[in-house]
Structure 1
């Protein structure tokens, strides 16, 4: 008898027979579930190579990535569970390690790998807006803030500190809050701007509800920050509110 370990899988992995052919003898030929999954993995890799990653639906793209975390077994159900739990591929990447761990089958290794992918995506987006005037790279900026904030489960307030040429000096989280509120302190924002020798700002925050429409408290808070900046000759170019449904610009809406 061939042992489970000889098949290259752990004792915890059930090896179920899969019928693959009917020879002349009339007895079905069987192969292990491990071999079946290995064949599926190779077929998916070949499809990705032939048609490009863009041709894969989100669950298969995530499945392909999870192959690296789980060398054996069927990870398609796990990929689909993650998408169901968080609503989208962006939602999966934006989830915290603790949130990812609530999905059955996601261990610490998988959660860390998913967050690694999110951080790499975020840094790639940031590369498009550094060392160039942010306000002239608006589409790249919007793409970056969507990755950074659109799928956050709690409200987060952050500031893009810019120099005199409107080039990015720093992107810093100033505060994190609850599902619908993050405390904002204009003095702290201006103090940090002076420390960084920042002449211009773009302020950002997200709406975990998904709707980026500015609220009355958002509008009042923005006015306070703008007024605080005037006294120090620090300009606030815009306030962007980010949600899964899009990005709202205070300047475009005539709110500042």
Structure 2
């Protein structure tokens, strides 16, 4: 009898472990997330950093932006594919322009207030190897017809302009990163904040954080529309001139 109980107990233990291993982890909800803090380990020494950073996941795309204490503007965007607790991020753009050949498997543990993500062996621009654990808080999972990753299309009349712009909308927020060249001078910027739908054709974009401090706190009313896989955004400048920006979906 004892032998039968031991066999039965072993069977239940094994099947229980198999059930846990096969359990599908729910996908991280699309939305906007604010960084609470990041724990960085380098050469066995750990430190905790606090920074004003936003990240958006939407429609299998991602984007983030913040001011890095060493390099300044730090922003990136690309593809995001979920597989049972691991988000595979494939960067397509960063603050220096288009990128390729990189892939990061980010382990994500969802919490009651957001999620934590772990990156092991991250190689920085200056060749250092870091382990990072980031703790994120959910800002919003609100959806809109304009959610997704967009690249600004330069019109023919402005084709000589060396302007590169990537924008992401999701979770009631937006992130924009720009890179421009004037002669030998390269300027990089990012802005992020709230993206609030007023009606089906208008939205208010309020910049909360920016690498350009003069933009912080600015409310901008946009006339927006989606045509095929494109986004059209109209705004009015301070001197009353209407500015039309066209974006293609990434």
TM-score by length of 2: 0.30
- Bigger helix share: 1
RCO higher in structure (CA 8 A, sep ≥6): 2
The TM-score normalised by the length of structure 1 is 0.29
- Structure with the greater alpha carbon radius of gyration: 1
Larger fraction in strand: 2
